[in-house]
């Protein structure tokens, strides 16, 4: 008979087993795939939201402007008795309730926008997931056009849609859809400070903000919790 003290301990023979390198590698790969899928899904969702903003809101106001011009015979805010062909007769921006009322009084349907009475505004999320608001106005501004000599420009009055509250991502997306390229100085969509730039032989410019900058700043901080910096753009109307 074998003494009890000579029998192997059950606890001693059952050693704890950790994860192998292969198992840890598999877990890390799975985590990476999940995080990648979340990031891709977020980017696709933001791209779809930008496309919807462009189609339903920006293009909606563009069509409303064209319908107003075709129906009334002059831009909104211009005088019928002595038309100048310029929004607000070349004066200040036409914004908010006066702009909306001008279109509604002419029987023009305007985009839904944010809500009733705020059809000139649209809320979206920036690249950090924080809410931002786009606002649309109309104005006659100075606009750089090619002059008689290649590489030279002259500033002329043009009617534009003023678009406030654009992040770098949204500005770039709109620019690609409108002009086929992202350029803050040339094309039909321009950054407001560059629209009248007549410096000769000067190449195109990038948008002066990016999504690393916090709201109200021009210094990159790369803080995920910050609202992203915004800019104002001019979208030239056909007439």
| List of residues 6+ apart from 106 with CB closer than 8 A | 68, 71, 72, 76
- Element of type H or E holding 109: none
Residue 219 CB: number of other CB atoms within 10 A?
Answer: 8
Query: Which residues on neighbouring strands pair with residue 65, listed in sequence order?
Result: none
* Cα distance between residue 228 and residue 217, in whole Å: 9
Q: Say if pTM beats, i.e. exceeds, 0.85.
A: no
Q: Are 87 and 75 in contact (CB under 8 A)?
A: yes
Q: What angle do CA 236, 139, 161 make, to 5 degrees?
A: 40
pLDDT of 24 strictly over 90: no
First to last CA, the chain: 109
List, for residues 126-142, the tens digit of each pLDDT value: 988 899 999 999 999 99
Element (H, E) at 145: strand 131-146
pLDDT of residue 12 exceeding 70, the answer is no
pLDDT tens digits along 84-116: 999 999 999 999 999 999 999 999 999 999 999
- How far is Cα 61 from Cα 113, in angstroms, rounded to an integer? 10
129 in Cβ contact with 76 (< 8 Å)? no
**DSSP H helices in 124-222:** 168-179
């Amino acid at each position: 008979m074998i003494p009890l003290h000579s029998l192997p301990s059950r606890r001693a023979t059952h050693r704890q087993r950790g994860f192998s390198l292969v198992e840890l590698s598999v877990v890390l790969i799975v985590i990476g795939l999940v995080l990648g899928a979340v990031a891709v899904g977020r980017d696709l969702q933001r791209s779809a939201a930008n496309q919807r903003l462009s189609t339903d809101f920006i293009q909606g106001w563009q069509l409303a402007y064209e319908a107003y011009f075709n129906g009334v015979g002059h831009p909104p805010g211009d005088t019928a008795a002595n038309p100048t062909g310029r929004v607000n007769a070349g004066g200040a921006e036409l914004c908010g309730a006066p702009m909306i009322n001008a279109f509604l009084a002419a029987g023009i349907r305007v985009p839904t926008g944010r809500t009733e009475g705020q059809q000139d505004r649209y809320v979206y999320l920036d690249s950090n997931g924080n809410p931002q608001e786009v606002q649309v106005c109309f104005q006659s501004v100075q606009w750089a056009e090619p002059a008689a000599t290649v590489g030279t420009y002259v500033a002329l009055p043009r009617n534009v849609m003023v678009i406030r509250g654009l992040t770098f991502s949204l500005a770039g997306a709109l620019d690609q859809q409108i002009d086929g390229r992202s350029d803050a100085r040339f094309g039909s969509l321009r950054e407001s400070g560059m629209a009248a730039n007549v410096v000769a032989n000067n190449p195109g410019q990038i948008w002066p903000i990016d999504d690393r900058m916090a709201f109200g700043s021009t210094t990159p901080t790369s803080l995920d919790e910050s609202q992203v910096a915004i800019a104002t753009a001019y979208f030239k109307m056909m007439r």
